[in-house]
Amino acid sequence: MGRTVNVGVIGVGRIGALHLRHLATRIPEAHVVAVADVRADIARQQAAAYGVPEVYEDAMRVVSHPEVEAVVVCSSTDTHADLIKAAAEAGKDIFCEKPIDLDLDRIDAALEAVSDAGVRLMVGFNRRFDRDFRRAKELVEGGAIGKPELLHIISRDPSPPPLEYLKVSGGIFLDMTIHDFDMARYLMGSEIVEVYTAGGVMVDPAIAEVGDLDTVVITLRFANGAIGTIDNSRRAAYGYDQRVEVFGSQGVVRTENEYPNTVWLADSQNVRRDLPLHFFMERYVEAYVEEMQTFIRCVAEDREPPVTGEDGRIAIALGMAARRSYEASRPVSLADHMSS
């Protein structure tokens, strides 16, 4: 075990509470010394549950805390860029949940602050740390399927998020597909240069009223000549559907959904098994642990994180390009959306 890293957590809602629990109970190299949340009662509850000594409403109290070496940012999206800048200026290493921001200018200012301060920034694309996707990546990278030619990502949620969330999330391309854009780049080892989007509202008409979509298919063209597709839905009646396939010149690699058990039942009429794990908090729990442990070890061992601020920026640019493609009904080059 390496040295202990003193951590401050900002935002202890659903995902922040998950990271706090893992930092406090499953990652021995981490010591949480402070938490902050605008909801003081929630912050106090979470701190008490895990023995965190310092609790604040003001996130800047965590950023400026003299014992905090690394800041974990899990607050609302509109606070991320400013907190990254403040933490960088305070000399803290930073883990930030995606997205960094919904505006490229603000992202660039945050990344510039990180670069100027010489601190680390890791962005929370937890799926890279899932055992199945990581193994698929290793097989593709190792040449097991020859030259990658086709990619298919299936990513469907069990139900839509609240409309109030959709009003501020940036929409399906920036709160949902953003993970799939990152996974596509990760698995193929090549940059996406063009996207073409078809989409609609098939789940809930109210989603259209807030200017969003709930069902999309995106065609990707990679710099290495490969082609990919992402299909997203806000509603899968059978649970959380997370699968990928990479087809190559000499074979194919495929992942399947995760289930609560491996039991299946066969009788004279049917073959049955339980539904997949219901949502991301269940499906990716071990990936979240591995992700945060990786960040802590990067801080402790003085090395760069595997998921960078630039990875976060590219995913946002791809989301913007996908939205533009849908609106214009034509393919859109990523190069047209990489400038701030």
Residue range 66-103, pLDDT digits in tens: 999 999 999 999 999 999 999 999 999 999 999 999 99
Q: How far apart are CA 218 and CA 196, in angstroms?
A: 6
| pLDDT tens, position by position, 213-244 | 999 999 999 999 999 999 999 999 999 999 99
> Is residue 280 very low, low, confident or very high in pLDDT (cuts 50, 70, 90)?
confident
**What is the domain range of residue 276?**
128-284+315-337
Nearest to 179, CA basis, from 291, 82, 273, 92 = 291
Answer whether residue 340 shows pLDDT above 90: no
**Structural Rg of the chain based on CA atoms:** 20
The pLDDT score that the predictor gives to residue 281 is 78
Sort 159 into a burial class: Cβ within 10 Å, 0-12 / 13-18 / 19+. middle
Q: Is residue 304 part of a domain?
A: no
Q: What is the mean pLDDT of the chain?
A: 96
Residue 339 has pLDDT above 80, yes or no: no
Question: What residues pair up with 8 in beta bridges, in sequence order?
Answer: 34, 71
Is 216 in the same domain as 180? yes
Rounded average pLDDT over 168-172: 93
User: Hunting for tokens 């960088």 — which residue is that?
Assistant: 88
The enclosing H or E element of 233 equals: strand 227-233
| pLDDT one-digit tens code per residue, 190-204 | 999 999 999 999 999
Among 102, 119, 136, give the residue marking a domain's end.
Answer: 119
Give the whole-angstrom CA distance, residue 23 versus residue 255: 28
pTM: 0.95
Neighbours of 14 (CB within 10 A): 10
Burial category of 108 from C-beta neighbours within 10 Å (exposed 0-12, middle 13-18, buried 19 and up): middle
Q: How far is CA 264 from the centre of its chain?
A: 32
Q: Are residues 185 and 328 in the same domain?
A: yes
Which whole number is the average pLDDT over 169-173? Answer: 94
Would the pLDDT of 165 be above 80?
yes
Number of domains into which the chain is organized: 2
CATH number at residue 141: 3.30.360.10
Measure the CA–CA gap between 100 and 60, rounded to whole angstroms: 18
Residue 14 sits in the same domain as residue 142: no
Answer yes or no: do 48 and 177 share one domain.
no
